[in-house]
Amino acid sequence: MDKLIIQGGKKLEGEINISGAKNSALPILFATMLTDADVVLENVPKLMDIYGAISIIEYLGKKVVWLGNTLKIVSSKSIPKEGKYVVAPYDLIRKMRASFLISGVLLAKNKNIKVALPGGCAIGVRPVDIHISAFEQLGCKHYLQEGYVVFNREKLNSAKVKFKYPSVGATENVMLLASGIDGETIIENAAQEPEIVDLANFLKKIGVKIVGDGSNKISIYGAKKFNNTKIVHRIIPDRIETGTYVIAVSATKGEVILKNVIFQHNKTLIKKLKSCGIKIFLENNSIYIKSTKKIKSKNIVTSPYPGFPTDLQAQFMVLMSLSKGKSVIKETVFENRFVHAAELQRMGANIRIKGNSAYIYGVEKLIGCPVMVSDLRAGAALVIAGLAAEGKTIINRIYHLDRGYEMLEQKLSKLGANIKRIK
């Protein structure tokens, strides 16, 4: 298994480009299944999760060709069926929880489908009850069979669906299903993440009318006929990759310009980092970051957008470990998202976990050692810790990182980091 070796203690300096957003590209890749039109997706990051989504749509009849970071997607064959069912098989679904979004897309156009139920993961159980109860309200019956959710429907009906929690995945899945429903489907307590707006913008291009995306109430008027002329769409920049680099620069006391960003998507993080004493300037599509010797400690509570993103919580914990004073991080989105704390403690961080809160007492320095990645963002946190630490950090199980950070070592090396991958 590959490992990353980081010789820490170097300030990050220079400039790099931010890649396209994984979490936008995934639902949009699935959404291409709604149309027979040729689709060109620009700014798609080359990541394991993206390759996983491509395998699913290729299995279901699309042909996908890479040209740099652009994907050309065409329909090449009809959707395979097992009896009356379109099946999204376990081997393709299991690698990534977002694959469950294929259920909304398939149900928009097919009456009988079976989709493997994704499992839990290191950060929690991650159920799909919100998706399924919304589907039921829109006319889909379901039952579980041998690890698959079997959905059967006759005519879909529009409805007002009220979520008990603004789940990102459920909002996307219902938008995808509602794209095939005649009439107005309303999602109340919808997620407001920028990736929802990007998906809506793509769906609008294929003929779906959507109002309210980006707010907590979204109306979707399905397309009677999907647009069949060529569609070009550019994926938004990855706000979590952006935030990860902003924190990495802050933790290494560096000075960097990040290009190709939409800084409005990182407003909450930027405001918080400014209050920690980091200098941040925004210009056009760039963010300039200059760190400070004395990072002030600040508290955060993770929450759905526009709150502080759970996907940057682990990285922020590293920064707070190197701050002056005590900070509290409260995680409200996932039930088990402090696995990285134990690894950070092995590097010398002083962190106490109590329920869904982490109490962090800043230390003078972290010291490199071998560590193990438990999930994607925990991996990003350990990389930042390794960059900021004294000595050598060996990061194991980096396949998690390959799911979500395009050209990580190359980008960090460009900024002067001493980082290499060994096979």
Residues labelled as active-site residues:
121
Q: Which of 35, 75, 297, 310 binds ligand UD1 (CB under 6 A)?
A: 310
- Residue with smallest beta-carbon separation from ligand UD1: 169
Q: How far is the CB of 43 from ligand UD1 (least distance, A)?
A: 16
* C-alpha–C-alpha distance, residues 256 and 300, integer Å: 24
Residues 175-214, interacting with ligand UD1 (CB under 6 A): 195
Q: Which of 14, 80, 119, 127 binds ligand UD1 (CB under 6 A)?
A: 127
Q: Which of 311, 331, 343, 375 binds ligand UD1 (CB under 6 A)?
A: 311
Q: How far is the CB of 180 from ligand UD1 (least distance, A)?
A: 20
Q: Kindly state the tokens that stand for 336.
A: 């088990």
Q: Do residues 280 and 273 lie in contact, with contact meaning Cβ atoms separated by under 8 Å? A: yes
Contacts of residue 108, defined as CB under 8 A and 6 or more positions apart, other chains included, come to 34, 156, 176, 177, 178, 179, 180, 181, 222
* Kind and range of the H or E run holding 59: helix 48-59
Q: How far is the CB of 415 from ligand UD1 (least distance, A)?
A: 24
Q: Which of 94, 109, 126, 162 binds ligand UD1 (CB under 6 A)?
A: 126
> Which range in 126-134, 242-250, 266-274, 347-355 contacts ligand UD1 by CB under 6 A?
126-134
> Which range in 53-61, 121-129, 206-214, 380-388 contacts ligand UD1 by CB under 6 A?
121-129
Q: In Å, how far from its chain's centre is CA 258?
A: 19
* C-alpha–C-alpha distance, residues 147 and 73, integer Å: 30
* C-alpha–C-alpha distance, residues 232 and 218, integer Å: 24
Q: What are 86's strand-pairing partners?
A: 113
Q: Is 128 a binder of ligand UD1 (CB under 6 A)?
A: yes
* C-alpha–C-alpha distance, residues 231 and 72, integer Å: 10
Question: Which of 167/266 has CB closer to ligand UD1?
Answer: 167
Q: How far is the CB of 81 from ligand UD1 (least distance, A)?
A: 27
Question: Which of 49/343 has CB closer to ligand UD1?
Answer: 49
- Binding pattern for the stretch 149-168 against ligand UD1, x by CB under 6 A and - elsewhere: ----------------x-xx
Q: How far is the CB of 338 from ligand UD1 (least distance, A)?
A: 14
Q: Is 98 a binder of ligand UD1 (CB under 6 A)?
A: yes
Sheet (strand 160-162) strand order: 160-162, 184-188, 217-221, 209-211
Question: Which of 311/343 has CB closer to ligand UD1?
Answer: 311
* Gyration radius of the chain over CA positions: 22
Q: Do residues 341 and 315 lie in contact, with contact meaning Cβ atoms separated by under 8 Å? A: no
Three-state DSSP state, 150: strand
Q: How far is the CB of 260 from ligand UD1 (least distance, A)?
A: 20
Size of the site for ligand UD1 (CB under 6 A): 21
* C-alpha–C-alpha distance, residues 287 and 282, integer Å: 5
Residues 316-335, interacting with ligand UD1 (CB under 6 A): 333-334
Q: Do residues 329 and 320 lie in contact, with contact meaning Cβ atoms separated by under 8 Å? A: yes
Q: How far is the CB of 161 from ligand UD1 (least distance, A)?
A: 12
Q: Which of 95, 131, 253, 298 binds ligand UD1 (CB under 6 A)?
A: 131
Q: Is 242 a binder of ligand UD1 (CB under 6 A)?
A: no
- Comparing CA positions, the residue from 328, 367, 325, 326 lying closest to residue 345 is 367
* C-alpha–C-alpha distance, residues 322 and 3, integer Å: 25
Q: Which residue matches tokens 């769906």?
A: 203
Q: Please state whether the peptide bond connecting residue 306 to the residue before it is cis, i.e. omega within 30 degrees of 0.
A: yes
Question: Which of 93/168 has CB closer to ligand UD1?
Answer: 168
* C-alpha–C-alpha distance, residues 164 and 342, integer Å: 32
Three-state DSSP state, 262: coil
Q: Which of 6, 12, 26, 203 binds ligand UD1 (CB under 6 A)?
A: 26
Q: Is 169 a binder of ligand UD1 (CB under 6 A)?
A: yes
Q: Is 218 a binder of ligand UD1 (CB under 6 A)?
A: no
> Which range in 76-84, 119-127, 143-151, 410-418 contacts ligand UD1 by CB under 6 A?
119-127
Binding positions for ligand UD1, rule: CB under 6 A? 23, 26, 97-98, 124, 126-131, 165, 167-170, 195, 310-311, 333-334
